[in-house]
A and B are shown apart, each in its own frame.
Chain A
């Protein structure tokens, strides 16, 4: 009995080899899964952060001179890509309007309309409030240049037109305040 028990506790050479090969195959897989499963595959870091913002010249809705990157220089800017069909955009809209009103001239908020009709946007802004220009982006050229994956996505530009931060998804008060601090604003 004691001999049998000792044998049972001692893995045979074959079993040990199977175990080692199995571990060699499975351990890296488990490690990769463990490191990446908690990550949102769509939250890919933007290569633009820390670099000069891509240039653009877009017509504001309702007419007027095109808004360009150069025209935003001199103070921080918040570039919010959004659409009326996007529920998180609807949720963050009041916060952006409030922030734009309370910060006034210290920062320029700009909305860039993503795959939406001007008519829809006009109705939305009439109902939900409007505090800053919304720009029309034909062919999504600006959205592509800014590497937009979906809406809402928001870029924070410093006074020199450099991208200081990108926020993917709806902003809340805390994340908006944190990102505004990155461009030198104390909200």
Chain B
């Protein structure tokens, strides 16, 4: 008696076999390079820009790529020969109809994520984008809390404006302040003449 799962199981087996077949063939299709970028990033997915738009588009995409021989310069901004060559290749790829993602992926394959000036939103990179926002939110919360605490403790800060005899709360620090006033102004015991009146 065939259980009702039979066809399902057969389909799963076929799918598994297909996965293995694809996996076995993947390395053979992988090699690529200057000869044919489509072997790295697949056939062109975009539309080649018009001749007038091509230069502007080249600058845009090259602006997203880090020049590998420079210090923190984009391929669009660097006069280095390497950057000029990379920019020429960006232009060529655009003219062939590759889209921005494909072009970035093409260079990333050779240089790693380093070549992208903007880290893509994936994996640990989310931290780079989210940490500043989180820090900002935490700061806003801390300020709000501090203001709330001050408001709760009284309408306005109870402490009078600082005068010549104002002392820090820290007793150790207060002793130093008194000593400094004594030395600097010649006040006995660090107390101002006004206070001893």
Contact surface of A with B, Cβ cutoff 8 Å: 7-8, 12, 14-15, 44-48, 51-57, 69, 115, 139-150, 161
Name A55's contact: one of B32, B85, B108, B171 (CB within 8 Å).
B32
> What are the interface flags for B25-40 relative to A under an 8 Å C-beta threshold, 1 for contact and 0 otherwise?
0010011111110011
A-B interface pairs (CB < 8 A), number: 89
- Given contacts A47-B109, A51-B30, A56-B34, list 18 more A-B pairs with CB under 8 A: A12-B170, A12-B171, A14-B170, A15-B170, A44-B112, A47-B111, A53-B33, A55-B33, A55-B36, A57-B34, A139-B85, A139-B88, A140-B81, A145-B32, A145-B33, A145-B34, A145-B110, A147-B68
A170 CB to closest chain B CB (Å) equals 17
B9 within 8 A of A: no
Query: Are A44 and B32 closer than 8 Å at their CB atoms?
Result: no
- The A interface is mostly helix, strand or loop, or mixed, namely loop
B86 within 8 A of A: yes
Query: Are A54 and B34 closer than 8 Å at their CB atoms?
Result: yes
B192 within 8 A of A: no
B172 within 8 A of A: yes
A36 CB to closest chain B CB (Å) equals 14
Query: Are B89 and A141 closer than 8 Å at their CB atoms?
Result: yes
Name A149's contact: one of B27, B36, B69, B172 (CB within 8 Å).
B69
